[in-house]
Amino acid sequence: MSPEPDPAAACGAATAASEGGGGGGNCRLRGRRGAAAAGAILVALLAVAGCSRSFPSISSSSRGGDCGCPGTRKYTGMVEDCCCDYETVDAINEEVLHPILQELVTLPFFRYFKVKLWCDCPFWPDDGMCRLRDCSVCECPDNEFPEPFKKPYNGLSLDNMICQEGKPQATVDRTLDTKVFKGWVETDNPWTYDDETDNAEMTYVNLQLNPERYTGYTGDSARRIWDSVYKENCPKYPSEEMCQEMKALYKLISGLHSSISVHIAYDYLLDESANVWGHNLPLLYDRVLKYPERVQNLYFTYLFVLRAVTKAADYLEQAEYNTDNPEEDLKTQSLVKQLLYNPKLRSACPLPFDEAKLWQGENGPELKQEIQKQFRNISAIMDCVGCEKCRLWGKLQVLGLGTALKILFSVDGDNHLNQPLQLQRNEVIALVNLLNRLSESVNFVHEKGPSIEEVIKQQSSSTVQIGVS
């Protein structure tokens, strides 16, 4: 099995690998031709980006893209260890789930996330560096954020807005509008490290102002994050001898890692001097598409989280989505119900993942405790991420995945509670935003994957012919 994506890609550190020239000093012309062919690959891949700069809805009957992009399918049949096939996932995601999620995460309730941005790394001194200017956040006035979101917030004065001016791309923009949350009982998640009830050290951020994208976070510090995740807390390469539960943990982390890499490639700083952002398709191929198991794990993680959301349907339907904006709150409730009870989803993929097959052995309880401890350790590693925006999205998505684990393994297969399911507001926000992130990644891989691989195949064939001649 090929290695996981370069850990530097986790928070935008990855850059496209440069192509080398010829291997022999007595074949200079061949080296030039090889370099030209390599350059042609990059040019062709970047040209594919012109087919679409968004996540368009594609009919399930048409697997081809726009601009004459080829329409072949590489992934067919059942997603490994899941209960849906690739064709169904792509069709349901494009036609149903992706449009709903894209709208849902922009609404006030799901727009804000409570996070502890200033935290000491529990494993090593933080020496992370960001290449894009300063990664730190200025100490803004206390009245910039609601305290603790129990009463309406009146917004920022002009004087207090000074702190938000001219902030670099790698820094979290913590500007808020007048929308606030209230209600919800806070309880800590046993799968994650953060103390979610510690309001004194936590603040709210507007996720719409802080998109997950390339930040320039690179170097040994970024690489050490994913090295620690894989080497110390879950097997880097699953084997046949490994139990199902450990394989599932590996695939969840690998799928999340792949999704993060996809978003880096989707929103990449192509020209720093001109502040031009766009698709880095060579990076997408190099970090994800080149390795089929990474794409497979992405789909696995998506279906795992989708199963958690649908399993908690009754709870999520009855939850209070109150932000003191009646119109937006009604819209939120309506979209949540559309997500949970969509007839197309329920008929095409009623059980995305079957959690009942796990923890069945006589050592099931002990194994669950062991994996829970490992995942908590993974969540703690997010405090060691040096780039603030990377830390924000790392903590959010790990909390979302921890919430999915909490839902799936606290409720039995018949929806009878082994113990009362209690989700705090922040967990629901993280869960839905994670599902949207995975949905975007699946959509982008499905949309661009065949075109990119076709270009690589054609250019590789041309390179071979040049070498022979």
Asked whether the beta carbons of 130 and 221 are under 8 A apart, the reply is no
315/312 Cα distance (integer angstroms): 5
**Residue 254 pLDDT class (50, 70, 90 cuts):** very high
Residue predicted with more confidence, 294 or 153? 294
The residue segments making up the domain with residue 155 are 7-20+83-281+290-449
Residue predicted with more confidence, 37 or 346? 346
**Domain annotation covers residue 200:** yes
* pLDDT (0 to 100) of residue 42: 54
The arithmetic mean of pLDDT across residues 310-319, rounded, is 90
**Domain annotation covers residue 248:** yes
The arithmetic mean of pLDDT across residues 412-427, rounded, is 65
Report the b/e string of 116-140 with b at 16+ CB within 10 A: bbebebeeeeeebebbbeebebeeb
Task: Let me know how long the chain is.
Answer: 469
Give the three-state DSSP class for 206.
Answer: strand
List C-alpha distances in Å: 453 to 109, 235, 262, 373, 456: 39, 29, 15, 39, 5
Please report where in the chains the tokens 């090295």 appear, as a residue: 227
Is the pLDDT reported for residue 197 higher than 80? no
**Domain annotation covers residue 46:** no
Is 433 buried (19+), middle (13-18) or exposed (0-12) by CB count in 10 A? buried
Residue predicted with more confidence, 272 or 103? 103
* pLDDT (0 to 100) of residue 122: 66
The arithmetic mean of pLDDT across residues 347-365, rounded, is 89
Strands 203-206 and 276-278: what pairing? unpaired
**Residue 465 pLDDT class (50, 70, 90 cuts):** low
Q: Which of 387, 375, 392 is nearest to 429 (CA)?
A: 392
* C-alpha torsion 192→413→439→269, nearest 10: 20
Mean pLDDT of the chain: 74
User: Which region among 129-143, 361-375, 383-397 has the lowest average model confidence (pLDDT)?
Assistant: 129-143
pLDDT in tens, 282-309: 999 999 999 999 999 999 999 999 999 9
Phi and psi for 128 in degrees, rounded to 5?
Answer: -65, 145
**Residue 44 pLDDT class (50, 70, 90 cuts):** low
**Domain annotation covers residue 253:** yes
* pLDDT (0 to 100) of residue 350: 94
Based on the structure, what is the number of domains in the chain? 1
The arithmetic mean of pLDDT across residues 317-330, rounded, is 87
The arithmetic mean of pLDDT across residues 205-228, rounded, is 79
Structure tokens that stand for 256 in this block: 């999340």
**Domain annotation covers residue 369:** yes
Q: What is the largest CA-CA distance in the chain?
A: 75
234/226 Cα distance (integer angstroms): 11
* pLDDT (0 to 100) of residue 212: 87
The arithmetic mean of pLDDT across residues 410-438, rounded, is 77
**Residue 279 pLDDT class (50, 70, 90 cuts):** very high
* pLDDT (0 to 100) of residue 104: 97
**Domain annotation covers residue 462:** no
* pLDDT (0 to 100) of residue 39: 52
Is the pLDDT reported for residue 166 higher than 50? no
Residue predicted with more confidence, 246 or 129? 246
313/333 Cα distance (integer angstroms): 12
The arithmetic mean of pLDDT across residues 34-50, rounded, is 52
pTM for this structure? 0.77
**Residue 364 pLDDT class (50, 70, 90 cuts):** confident
Among 39-43, 59-63, 243-247, the range with the most confident prediction by mean pLDDT is 243-247
User: Which region among 206-215, 257-266, 387-396 has the lowest average model confidence (pLDDT)?
Assistant: 206-215
| DSSP class of 68 | T
User: Which region among 5-14, 179-188, 332-341, 458-467 has the lowest average model confidence (pLDDT)?
Assistant: 5-14
* pLDDT (0 to 100) of residue 196: 59
The arithmetic mean of pLDDT across residues 152-181, rounded, is 43
Residue predicted with more confidence, 213 or 401? 401
**Domain annotation covers residue 274:** yes
The arithmetic mean of pLDDT across residues 83-94, rounded, is 96
Give the three-state DSSP class for 15.
Answer: coil
Bridge partners, residue 278, by sequence: 268
Give the three-state DSSP class for 352.
Answer: coil
Is the pLDDT reported for residue 251 higher than 80? yes
